[in-house]
């Protein structure tokens, strides 16, 4: 089955700096890559996703890149703010009924 | 509109007890998923429904775990004879239909088995 590895497990940045989280996946058939943000006591919330037919996608301060050949994808958050502090999960899916395999998560702390 | 809701939000059970966890998906969503999230880990797939049909239960860890969605809306995850290793957050997610659409997660039920 699919295996998604994510690093770093924790990340501390100063407010205004950028944060980068990297993930790799094992199954070349995966073609959908969502990123979720999870705050304490809440369920994961989708923040951005990318499909395998594109290499990059941007939404305001958040961008994702995908390298299908190397089977890795990354999340970039620019101009970080304290409210960006949360656990971020990358994930991969082969579509169809969308069984999603998650990474272990990255705890991001933005220091004011 | 209302998102995915789950109840109870917290459940404490003694080892050996049976528990039932409820999920109310977003109205009209065809697909429903259950995930288990251990402390400090990412969610792990348990089972999937398309309407009332359980199409994949490959992630259920043992035959003590049972899920149903009899009318294609509300779903219940039941755990029989709970054990300490069942302690986790159980997340429910729904999406509009099969295909590459967003899964919307509920807040989860935190289960603690003593």
Using an 8 Å CB-CB cutoff, list chain B residues near A39. Answer: none
CB neighbour list of residue A19: distance below 8 Å, 6 or more residues apart: A11, A13, A75, A76, A77, A80, A84, A108, A110
Name the minimum distance, in Å, from the CA of B13 to any CA of chain A.
Answer: 19
Whether the pLDDT of residue B99 is over 60: the answer is no
* Burial of A3 from C-beta contacts in 10 A (0-12 / 13-18 / 19+): exposed
Q: Is B31 close to A34, i.e. CB distance below 8 A? A: no
pLDDT of residue A97: 67
Residue in chain B closest to A97 (alpha carbons) equals B98
pLDDT of residue B96: 84
pLDDT of residue B102: 82
Q: Is A31 close to B100, i.e. CB distance below 8 A? A: yes
Using an 8 Å CB-CB cutoff, list chain A residues near B102. Answer: 34, 46, 49
Beta-bridge partners for A93: A32, A100
Beta-bridge partners for B12: B112
Mean pLDDT over all residues of chain B? Answer: 93
Q: Are B33 and B26 in contact (CB under 8 A)?
A: no
What pLDDT digit, counting tens, does each position of B14-41 carry?
999 999 999 999 998 999 999 999 999 9
Q: Is the dihedral of CA A22, A27, A29, A33 positive or negative?
A: negative
pLDDT of residue B1: 55
pLDDT of residue B42: 95
Whether the pLDDT of residue B107 is over 90: the answer is yes
Cβ-based neighbour number of residue B48 at 10 Å: 22
pLDDT of residue B2: 80
Whether the pLDDT of residue B68 is over 60: the answer is yes
Could you give the CA distance from residue B80 to residue B62 in angstroms, rounded to a whole number?
10
Tokens for B34, please give them.
Answer: 């259950």
Residue B65's nearest CA partner among B53, B82, B44 is B82
pLDDT in tens, chain A (112 residues): 889 999 999 999 999 999 999 999 999 999 999 999 999 989 999 999 998 888 999 999 999 999 999 999 999 999 999 999 999 999 998 876 668 899 999 999 999 9
What pLDDT digit, counting tens, does each position of B74-96 carry?
999 999 999 999 999 999 999 88
Name the minimum distance, in Å, from the CA of B51 to any CA of chain A.
Answer: 12
Residue B111's nearest CA partner among B90, B91, B92, B93 is B90
Q: Is the dihedral of CA A20, B100, A94, A99 positive or negative?
A: positive
Residue B20's nearest CA partner among B4, B3, B34, B37 is B34
Using an 8 Å CB-CB cutoff, list chain B residues near A41. Answer: 107
Name the minimum distance, in Å, from the CA of A78 to any CA of chain B.
Answer: 24
Q: Is A96 close to B103, i.e. CB distance below 8 A? A: no
CB neighbour list of residue A40: distance below 8 Å, 6 or more residues apart: A86
Could you give the CA distance from residue A27 to residue B81 in angstroms, rounded to a whole number?
35
Q: Is B45 close to A89, i.e. CB distance below 8 A? A: no
């Amino acid at each position: 089955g699919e295996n998604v590895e994510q690093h770093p497990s924790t990340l501390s940045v100063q407010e205004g700096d950028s944060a980068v989280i990297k993930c790799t996946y094992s199954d070349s058939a995966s073609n959908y890559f969502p990123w979720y943000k999870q705050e304490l006591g809440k369920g994961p919330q989708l923040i951005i996703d990318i499909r395998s037919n594109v290499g990059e996608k941007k939404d305001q301060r958040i961008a994702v890149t995908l390298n299908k050949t190397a089977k890795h994808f990354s999340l970039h958050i620019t101009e970080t703010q304290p409210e960006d502090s949360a656990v971020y999960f990358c994930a991969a899916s082969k579509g169809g009924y969308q069984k999603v395999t998650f990474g272990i998560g990255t705890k991001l702390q933005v220091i004011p | 509109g209302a998102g995915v809701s789950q109840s109870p939000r917290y459940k404490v059970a003694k080892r050996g007890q049976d528990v039932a966890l409820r999920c109310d998906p977003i109205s009209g969503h065809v697909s429903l998923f259950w995930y288990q999230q251990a402390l400090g880990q990412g969610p792990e797939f348990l089972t999937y429904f398309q309407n009332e049909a359980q199409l994949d239960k490959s992630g259920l860890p043992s035959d003590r775990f049972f899920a149903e969605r009899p009318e294609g809306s509300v779903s219940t995850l039941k755990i029989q004879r709970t054990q300490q290793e069942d302690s986790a957050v159980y997340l429910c997610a729904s999406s509009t239909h099969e295909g590459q659409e967003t899964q919307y997660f509920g807040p989860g039920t935190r289960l603690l088995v003593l």
